[in-house]
Structure 1
Amino acid sequence: MPPRRQVTARQVRLGAELRKLREAAGLKAREAAALLGADSVQMSQIESGIAGVSETRVRRLAAQYACTDEALIDALVVMATERTHGWWDDYRGVLPQVNLDVAEAEHHATFLQEVVITHVPGLLQTPAYARAVFRYMRPELPESELAHRVEHRMRRRVAIEGNDPTPYETVVHEFALRIRVADRQTSVSQLRLILEEIERGHATVRVVPVDRDGFAGADASMMYMGGPVPKLDTGFLDAPTGTLFIDAEAPLNRLRTLFRTVKGSSLDPSESRDFIHRLTKEL
């Protein structure tokens, strides 16, 4: 297959998983390439996501690597052969590739877990709230790109609101709910939307009150996305400097632990709903 012009995070992940299997088998890239009748350059392109790989080759490599995890192999085959053209493709060439990668990852996730400290989660934001956040974080953006980013963020919500919604649980700090990114009406409308999403069953929301003792997770913002098998779980950290996708087992374990820890500091869903309702009245 010819090299790709644009490589997505999902394609990079497939290549990374094939490389992990090769390394676990103790084979060098040139040895694996020989099994396919290819050369080391082609193998490097496959393992970096630059070049595609067929189902036959995925299964042949898995067999040569002595991988017996059939569920993992089947999932890798789907990643290699699926030709999904999702709604995010409407923004190709319009928004940075990472925006498309996040939407695609959410589309394929089996569950979503998120921790947010400083802002309302993107999947729960109103257009006015999202616009205020983008305008503050990226004041140089022209109006046209700002509008595209807000629209894209709103369309991401299909992951939890569509015909086959993905289970979504988020832990939000009280600080994120109280801070006014714009004006009072924007904040009130934002809290009401969160309550609506809770009532519709689209989101499980847990709040960490500002007076909760023993909470030291002020920098804990993260998203954890379940894969078709646990080995294909994905995490990402969103920061002003960029979005980092995580697929290595050690940092994924840290993210799992982090979510459990922060969740343990939060109110339960019923208490959280009542908390947000009271806060709406206070504002």
Structure 2
Amino acid sequence: MTETGSTVPRRQLGRYLRELRQQSGMTIAEVSRRIDRGATTVQRLETGQADRIRLGDIESLCRVLGADETETAALKGLAQQGNAKSWWHEYGDLIPANFDVYMGLESAASALSSFQELVPGLAQIPEYARVLIRTVHPNEPDGEISRRVEMRMRRQVLITRRAQPVKLDVILDESALCRVIGHPKIMVKQLRHLADLSTHTNITVRVLPFSAGIPLGELTGPFTILDFGDQAREPFEPSVVYSERFTGAMYFDDSDNIDHYRAAHDTLRRVALDEAKSRDLLRQRAREHQHEH
């Protein structure tokens, strides 16, 4: 943790700049020549290590790399948000609402440990995702809703790919099994899908039953701890906690907060049902939903 605050916005900015440059086929040297800056400056921006970020440099990079209007606004927004101790990303604030900041982090992670009150996006079926997305965006045209659903489905390759799939360790509140999203038919299909996914060696699903009460003495809300592969590599990429709220998301990368959330996840894990009992309960609830329609 540096004195300049949260590294998350800077790392995300670097990730997107690197992807844009790779898509363009240009080297760091070529890009730095075109924006009249040193190669070291561009490299530090791409690795999230730049202490001082000039908005003019970001605008120039976006122009040279062919970023669209939304991407340019988002990257400028990330550049302006790198100095808070913990980073509160308010939806639609400096960063356009239709730019998904979290997705870039998720795609770089090697392991995700979370507590959820809804089936997580990586495990959702299209019908379940569509109901939720349509509810959040009631005025969007159907084409835009379909695009968002498709994007969510594409993200699922992270946990299903053969080569180095992301490890997913989910503790799911029992309320997610009971609450009907859309229609009981959707719930039958969704819960069966989740039970099947939980048989994969890289995916763990444990249900936190109602009988466990409030194990931490207070409600945490949903959260995800993201870990990033080889901790010995340079530049070191520290773990991040992502905690979503109704109007935005909080990102923590300081060790105190990460330790606090890991301890919470460990406690919830201990009192949750084991994997086999969780799978049985998922299938039992699916059968109950089947009788509702």
Note if contact 1:128-1:186 (Cα within 8 Å) is conserved in structure 2: yes
Match of residue 136 from structure 1 = 135
Q: TM (normalized to structure 2)?
A: 0.63
2:141 alignment partner AA? P
- What root-mean-square deviation, in Å, do the aligned CA atoms of Structure 1 and Structure 2 show? 3.5
Q: In structure 2, how many angstroms separate the alpha carbons of the residues matched to 1:169 and 1:256?
A: 12
Match of residue 144 from structure 2 = 145
Match of residue 191 from structure 1 = 191
Note if contact 2:71-2:99 (Cα within 8 Å) is conserved in structure 1: no
Q: TM (normalized to structure 1)?
A: 0.65
Q: In structure 1, how many angstroms separate the alpha carbons of the residues matched to 2:160 and 2:10?
A: 24
Deviation (angstroms), 1:169:
0.4
Q: Which structure has greater helix proportion?
A: 1
Match of residue 265 from structure 1 = 271
Q: In structure 2, how many angstroms separate the alpha carbons of the residues matched to 1:114 and 1:47?
A: 31
Q: In structure 1, how many angstroms separate the alpha carbons of the residues matched to 2:71 and 2:148?
A: 12
Helix, strand or coil: the match of 1:47?
Answer: coil
1:247 alignment partner AA? D
Q: Say which is worse superposed, 187-196 or 213-222, in terms of deviation.
A: 213-222
Note if contact 2:128-2:186 (Cα within 8 Å) is conserved in structure 1: yes
Deviation (angstroms), 1:50:
5.4
Q: In structure 2, how many angstroms separate the alpha carbons of the residues matched to 1:168 and 1:256?
A: 14
Q: In structure 1, how many angstroms separate the alpha carbons of the residues matched to 2:52 and 2:12?
A: 8
Helix, strand or coil: the match of 2:205?
Answer: strand
Q: In structure 2, how many angstroms separate the alpha carbons of the residues matched to 1:205 and 1:135?
A: 26
Match of residue 170 from structure 2 = 170
Q: Which stretches in structure 1 are left out of the alignment for 5+ residues? A: 1-6, 15-36, 54-88
Deviation (angstroms), 1:124:
0.6
Count how many residue pairs are aligned between Structure 1 and Structure 2. 214
Q: In structure 1, how many angstroms separate the alpha carbons of the residues matched to 2:136 and 2:144?
A: 13
Q: In structure 1, how many angstroms separate the alpha carbons of the residues matched to 2:52 and 2:143?
A: 33
> Percent same amino acid at aligned positions?
26
* Higher RCO (C-alpha 8 Å, min separation 6): 2
Match of residue 57 from structure 1 = none
1:59-106 Cα distance to aligned partner (Å, 9 max, x none): xxxxxxxxxxxxxxxxxxxxxxxxxxxxxx9x968984652x322212
1:221 alignment partner AA? P
Match of residue 223 from structure 2 = 222
Q: Which stretches in structure 2 are left out of the alignment for 5+ residues? A: 1-7, 16-39, 58-67, 75-95
